[in-house]
Amino acid sequence: MFLLLLLVFIVVPVLELSVLIRVGEVLGSWNTVALVLLTAVVGVSLVRSQGLSTLMSAQQKLARGEMPGSELVQGMMLAMAGVLLLIPGFITDFIGLLLLTPLTRKPLAALLLKRIQLTVVNGGPGPHFGEPPFQHKDHQGGQTFDGDFERHDEPRGHLGDDSKRKDQDD
């Protein structure tokens, strides 16, 4: 986790500054600023249109009684693409465009959805070494068994009924 935070908060901004400086040397500073603003505006408009398309697809699946798992993952990816496109820099814009393009987003979303489903089925980040994937133990180390139960309410007029107690108290 520490390495991920180091990458996000230190390495990526340093790389972004380096690329912005290089592009600024080639295109000029004002052209570089205009290009960064242009990618943000175009990116946000594309995220909006792709997001509406994904929302419509999710609504259609819900109307058919299907679970819109892929659409939910794609929606999260589109939100991430929007954030990356708003961050000034060309590296984050490139990653945002990869998440925005359906050609790359859909296979990545399918892979991510499979990973999420596997995590949920196994009850965690994955089976631990030497443990079968579907076996769960309780806190004392014993087996946990599933079962069903029925609740039978007491019939009205039984001595445990609160209305009878009130009548008797009066």
pLDDT, averaged per 10 consecutive residues of the chain (170 residues), comes to: 84 92 94 92 88 87 87 89 90 92 90 81 55 52 69 65 52
- What separation in angstroms does the CA of 130 have from each of 133, 136, 155? 9, 13, 52
| Cα 72 from Cα 99, distance rounded (Å) | 14
| Distance between CA atoms of residues 129 and 133, nearest Å | 10
Alpha-carbon distance 118 to 126, whole Å?
A: 7
Q: Which residue has the tokens 């693409």?
A: 81
Find all residues with CB under 8 Å of 68, minimum gap 6, and list them: 57, 58, 61, 62
The pLDDT of residue 122: 66
When the pLDDT of each residue in the chain is averaged and rounded to a whole number, the result is 80
pLDDT at 152: 78
> For position 157, what pLDDT does the model report?
58
Q: Which long-range contacts (CB under 8 A, 24 or more apart) does 29-36 make?
A: 36/88, 36/89, 36/90, 36/93
The confidence score (pLDDT) of residue 70 equals 86
- Chain-centre distance for alpha carbon 58: 15
DSSP letter string, 63-83: HTT---HHHHHHHHHHHHHHH
3-state secondary structure of 56: helix
Q: What is the pLDDT of residue 169?
A: 52
pLDDT of 16 reads: 94
Q: How far apart, in whole angstroms, are the C-alpha atoms of residue 108 and residue 112?
A: 6
- State pLDDT tens for residues 110-138: 898 888 877 766 666 544 544 555 555 55
- Burial status of residue 30 (CB atoms within 10 A of its CB: 0-12, 13-18, 19 or more): exposed
